[in-house]
Structure 1
Amino acid sequence: MSRLSDMLRTQRFDDYRFYHQSTINQTLHLISAIIFLGCYALLFTDAAIAGIVGWLAMLTRQTGHFFFEPNGYDAVNDVSNDYKEAVKVGYNQTRKIILLLVWGSAPVALYVYPTLFGLFDPPTDRFDFVRHVGTLWLAIGIGGGLARMLQLFATRDLTTGLVWAFKVLTDPFHNIALYWKSPLKLLRGELIDSSIADADWGADEVEEAPHLT
């Protein structure tokens, strides 16, 4: 259990120090995390709407990554952006773009093929169409997570994939605990989180992440 806890802490620390240096990005992740908690609650009552809410949360956090997170040389960690993209355990920018293209194509596919080859009943009104989109978006989100987990099983090991999946599912709770002060830093004009340079989550966490094979 200690090894699993160490792996989870390492993944979270690398995610924080490498990919969440912008306080705007952190603030958007805080907002996204709160929205995701709403998505989790809706899963038990209305999965289709949960799919829409979940992707609203996802777009909020990806806006932070694509538009506000520094993409040049990382002087804080003394690594290049190419290195960070190569060692990222989860979805790097290339994988995210592919996933977002699949997500964006879902409404188009349902507009052209309203039943999606018999998967859905023909929509009777616009709300039916929206619910079908939400259901498909939920499936894409779950499928994307499972696909990356299986890829990690193949390229790394079973434990890394399972720990990453657990990390993703619990990220909303962890993000709230980690980034609740980020809006205050942003209001003070601190666009880059200066505390990252001094962050230390344990000796294991400051080791360089190995390249994925």
Structure 2
Amino acid sequence: MKDFLALLNEQRWDDHRYYHHCRINQSLHLLSACCFVVAYGLLLVDPAWSALLAWGVSMTSRQAGHFFFEPKGYDHVNQATHEHKEEIKVGYNLRRKVVLMALWALSPVALWLQPGLFGLFEPATGFGDYLHQLGLLWFWLGVGGLVFRVLQLAVIRDLRTGLAWATKIITDPFHDIQLYHRAPLQLLRGERLDPALWPRADGHNAGNGEQTA
């Protein structure tokens, strides 16, 4: 258990230091995390509506932060290129996320063009039924994406790495709230990049004062 927790903390730290430099991204992650917590509560009521909130708000805001606001040049603080970070990413890197988000975006189109989706559901009798069926599709897409990557990591690395990553993903909303609850205020103060994760003009890391050049 001690080794598992150490691996979990390592994955969390790598994710934060490599992929959350921008305060806009951090703020979007805070929004995403709060909505995910509500979605977790909705799971006890209706998984379909939980998935609609999780995918419709939480995932879109979270991934928008990564795709549109994170710096993708050379990471001087971590001495790593963007390509290197993508290569060693444990979970879904940007390339894998494109595939996952494409499946998410195509799901409502497929369900609309093929009511019932080839017998998977009874054809929807109204827009409410359609939304409920879409929510169930998105719910199983999320479960499938999680399970698929765990099994993939078990093959290319080991099962413990996959389970640690799954634990990280499930608990990320609570961890993100802890990490980024001040990000919107810091952004309003004009702090675009997290000083602990970005070098100053003099080549030093403002967060810990270490040389980055």
Write out the 4+ residue segments of structure 1 that deviate beyond 6 Å after TM superposition.
none
Q: Does 1:162 align with 2:148?
A: no
What is residue 88 of structure 2 aligned with on the other side?
87
Using the size of structure 2 for normalisation, the TM-score is 0.91
- Cα deviation code 1:42-93 (max 9, x no counterpart): 1110111111001020111001000000011111111100000000001000
What is residue 203 of structure 1 aligned with on the other side?
none
Q: Does 1:72 align with 2:84?
A: no
Q: Distance in 1 between matches of 2:76 and 2:188?
A: 24
Where relative contact order (Cα < 8 A, 6+ residues apart) is larger, the structure is: 1
Amino acid at match of 2:168: K
What is residue 191 of structure 2 aligned with on the other side?
190
What is residue 202 of structure 1 aligned with on the other side?
none
Mapping of residues 167-186 of structure 1, within 5 Å: 167-186=168-187
Amino acid at match of 1:167: K
What is residue 10 of structure 1 aligned with on the other side?
10
Question: How many residues are paired up?
Answer: 199
Q: Distance in 2 between matches of 1:26 and 1:33?
A: 10
- Cα deviation code 1:96-151 (max 9, x no counterpart): 00001111110111112111111111111111111111110111111111111111
Mapping of residues 98-113 of structure 1, within 5 Å: 98-113=99-114
What is residue 153 of structure 1 aligned with on the other side?
154
Q: Distance in 1 between matches of 2:196 and 2:80?
A: 18
Q: Calculate percent identity across the aligned residue pairs.
A: 49
Amino acid at match of 1:40: Y
Q: Does 1:26 align with 2:23?
A: no
What is residue 39 of structure 2 aligned with on the other side?
39
What is residue 130 of structure 1 aligned with on the other side?
131
> Which structure 1 residue ranges, 5 or more long, are not aligned?
200-213
What is residue 98 of structure 2 aligned with on the other side?
97
Shift of 1:8: 0.7
Amino acid at match of 1:58: M
Using the size of structure 1 for normalisation, the TM-score is 0.91
Compute the RMSD of aligned alpha carbons: 0.9
Q: Distance in 2 between matches of 1:173 and 1:39?
A: 12
> Which structure 2 residue ranges, 5 or more long, are not aligned?
198-204, 209-213
